[in-house]
Amino acid sequence: MDVLYFAWVRERIGLPREKVDADVATVMDLVEVLRAREDRYDAAFSDLSALRVAVDQQLADFDAPLAGVREVAFFPPMTGG
Amino acid sequence: MRIAVQEGPFDLGAEADAFARGRCVSGAIVTFTGVVRDVAGGLKAMEIEHYPGMTETALTEIATEAERRWALEDCLIIHRHGTLAPGEMIMMVATAALHRKDAFEAAEYLMDYLKSRAPFWKREITGDGAEWVASRDEDEAALTRW
């Protein structure tokens, strides 16, 4: 699946998007896989209360299932308007 | 309903005029415009990042819900992204309804949801560097009244 990062999450991890092939059931499983990779990922995901997630471009919870999902995005709370 | 996500500026007068002109059903047109402000002084620019694809989807869903809740004849959302200077217009919404209460309330609803449910992120550029604008608890709390 494609994993996208926005705003300071993108800056902290150091890239806007990447392909991740992992056998994960939920968003939380994906977070754990990413955190285990490198310190920059671990730092970006250290406080999940500061993050929001979208699954196939719809806001979702961290326990959302990922079966059949093509795109997951992580970002801070939105500041539009 | 029209949703526009764009980098370039928009003409507030022309947009408001085009939106209002020729309406026979609606007796009330409300427009709101958001401007890049520089309260503390020293703001060089405001950068607005967004999530192409999801942004358009989220704005359409927010506008669709507004049209479901209030008796709107039409609504318009224009939101910019990219680098903006202080004083530039960031976004506008317009609503057309039979009566002003619906038009005002729907415009406020659009604004409240745009603030914290549309995937935009603001960053302020000053002489000291760049800083992401933190979300405000008040913006999240504002959603509970709807």
Query: What CATH number is associated with residue B115?
Result: 3.90.1170.40
Beta strand B2-6 with B28-35 is unpaired
Cβ separation of B119 and A76 shorter than 8 Å?
no
Total domains in chain B come to 1
Beta strand B43-50 with B28-35 is unpaired
What is the domain range of residue B56?
A: 2-145
Alpha helices in chain B (DSSP H): 12-20, 54-69, 100-117, 137-142
pLDDT tens per residue across span A44-67: 999 999 999 999 999 999 999 999
- DSSP assignment, residue B60? H
Q: Could you state, in chain order, the average pLDDT of each consecutive group of 10 residues for chain B (146 residues)?
A: 98 97 92 93 96 98 97 97 98 97 98 95 96 91 90
Q: How far apart are CA B55 and CA B37, in angstroms?
A: 23
Give the CATH number of domain A2-75.
3.10.20.30
pLDDT of B22 reads 87
Contacts of B118 in chain A (CB under 8 A): 78, 80-81
pLDDT of B91 reads 98
| Interface ipTM | 0.96
Q: How far apart are CA B146 and CA B116, in angstroms?
A: 14
pLDDT of B109 reads 97
- Whose tokens are 């979702």? That residue is A60
The SS3 call for residue A33 is helix
Length of chain B: 146
pLDDT of A31 reads 98
A79–chain B nearest CA distance, Å: 5
What residues does each domain of chain A span?
2-75
pLDDT of B40 reads 84
> Tokens at residue B62, please?
């927010």
pLDDT of B140 reads 87
B127–chain A nearest CA distance, Å: 19
Residues of chain A with confidence (pLDDT) below 50? none
Q: How far apart are CA B50 and CA B35, in angstroms?
A: 17
Count the neighbouring beta carbons within 10 Å of the beta carbon of residue B98: 15
